[in-house]
Structure formats: structure tokens, C-alpha cells
A = this chain, B = another copy of it.
Amino acid sequence: MERTRVIDTDELLSIRAAELYYEENKTQDEIGTLLRLTRWKVGRLLAQAKASGFIRIEIVHPRARRLSVERRLREATGLTDAIVVSSAGVAGDEELQSRTAQAAADYLTGLRPVPRTLGISWGRTLHEVALHLKQGWAHGVNVVQINGGVSLNRRAGTAAATAVNIAHKAAGAATLLPSPAILERLETKQAIESDRAVAAVLNLATAASAYLFSAGQADEFSALVDSGYLTAEQVAELVRKGAVGDIVGRYIDSNGNIVDPELDGRTVGIQLEQLRQAKTAIAVIAGTSKHAIARAIVGSGLCTVLVTDEDTALAILGDEA
């Protein structure tokens, strides 16, 4: 900290002017009289104060977005769209996730063209997005799961419920993927994928007109560990190999590459290439623990649209301060 920085007279004046302008809402003219300056000088001081960052304007509201950050994200990453919710005055990660989910629901509702088929993953975040969607948010959107996980999930049915909920609220049908997320043996996985019922769903998923998914961090709190697909040790091993998190059940490193091809081979769901080639792939990611995976996803083109919180967005932009 530079304790002894020189503060020149104009800087002080600009602060006095700002106080009178923003706190006392006097006109620049009145301030001019008070400080014995012309009103033009006051205007310039004010502009200077803004430019130096002494004036901070925050919009404090759960639905507030950070348009300037969104713009920077779009420009820096080539995303089609970026939605960044403000974290001003937020207590914890939970509130942040809720706000982000709300924003994702809003985005989905306003999405044009309306997707005929929407491929979705499952998890806490997606579940919350479903909750925030309003009845009738669209008409005739069919929903299809893009990765396995229904049966083994501890709170059985959350994954299915998410898909059904989203479809129902859009007066469409839900198609579930009746398969575990990860199988123990490659042969089992190949067998299940060749099953007509499963193959049909995967084909539908591959042909979806838009995707909506979240991502998980790579640690012992991951949903895949929680659901019993992986042990904490297995995840720790993946981390050693460079994993930063998972997306549709597949663990990737910071460059967006599959970390463990063998494991990946046993994972049921669409391929990452599908997401990379999709015209609309919406990633919804919030919370401090997901900065790394968010960065990896955006950096490697796994989504075209990112819905996230301000801190995650700034982490992606490399703006730690």
C-alpha cells in the first residue's frame, strides 16, 4: 500500500465536487459557486473523478447484471453471448448460484430461435434453473438428457425431475437417458450404448438444437462422488493428472482435453465434440470453486453462451485484484 502517494489539489477538489454532486445532489453550477470554480471546471473534475475510478456506481439487486463485464467476456473469448450476474452485496455461494440459475432461466426464456429439442445435463445447478423457469416459458420444447446418471443418483429422480420439469413447463416432452453416468467395465458401457432404447436417446441428444449444461469442480464434493460413481481417491488421482472439473460427466484439464481416456470410455453421454460443434451450447456455472472449470470450458470452446457470476467472469478474464 502506498501510504505517501501525493494527492494533488485537483484530486482533492474532484472528491469535494463528487461529494456535493452525488451525495448532496447539487448542480455543477452550485458546486462551482461553492468551490469558487467555473461550472465547466466542475464538470471536468467530475469526469476526472469518474475516470480515476473514485466514483463507484453499483446496482444492488438480485437480478442485476454486469453488462460491462459481459461485453469484455464476449470480446475476449469469442462467446456468442455472456450473462454475468452481479455479486454486489451477496452473502454466500448459495445466493450466487440462485441468482445465476435465475439468469439462466431468463436467458433460456428469451432465447431465439426457440430450440425444438433441448439437450440438458443434470445436477444441482440445472435443477435450480428448472425451478426458476416459469410455467409456459416456451411452447413445445422437447427436452433430452445428454448424459447418464438417473438410476444411481442418491436422491433418485432429481435428474429425471429436472428434465421433466423443464419440458413440462414448456408444454413439451422429456426424454430420459436410462443409463448410469459411468460404468465399471468398458464392455458394459458398449453394450448399454448399443441397446436400442439408449441409442435412440443418444441420437436424439446428438441432434438437439441447443444444449444447456452445468459443470462440476474436481474435488471430493463433486456430484459424481456424491452419487457414488467415483470415490474421492479416484477424483484426487484425476486432479493429479490435471483435471479441473467435469462437464457432462467427463473430466477435462485446463485446456479442455479429456484427462483420462480410459475413464472417459466408460462414461455414457454425448461427446464433447458435439458441444464444440453445437450452434447453441449454454453453460451455467457459478461459485468460487468453479472458476477453474469455467475457464477451461470457455477457453476450449465448449460453450457458445456462458451464464455465470461476476467473480467467475473476472477470474476467466484474469482480473484478480
Contacts and interface: CB of A to CB of B under 8 A. Distances in A.
A6 interface: no
Given A55-B59, A58-B58, A60-B56, A67 B15 contact: no
Interface in A121-142: none
Interface string A48-88: 01000111111111111111100000000000000000001
A22 interface: yes
Contacts of A65: 19
A20 B63 contact: no
A67 B56 CA distance: 16
Nearest to A98: B3
A262 interface: no
A7 interface: yes
A28 to B, nearest CB: 16
Interface string A1-35: 00000010001100100111011100000000000
Interface residues of A, number: 28
Given A24-B68, A68-B24, A19 B60 contact: no
Contacts of A58: 55-58
Contacts of A55: 57-60
B57 A22 contact: yes
A62 to B, nearest CB: 8
A23 B53 contact: no
Contact of A66 (B11, B23, B49, B54): B23
A57 B56 contact: yes
Interface of A: 7, 11-12, 15, 18-20, 22-24, 49, 53-68, 88
23 contacts: A7-B62, A7-B63, A12-B63, A15-B63, A15-B64, A19-B64, A20-B67, A22-B57, A23-B57, A23-B59, A49-B59, A54-B59, A54-B60, A54-B64, A55-B58, A55-B60, A56-B57, A56-B58, A56-B59, A56-B88, A57-B57, A57-B58, A58-B58
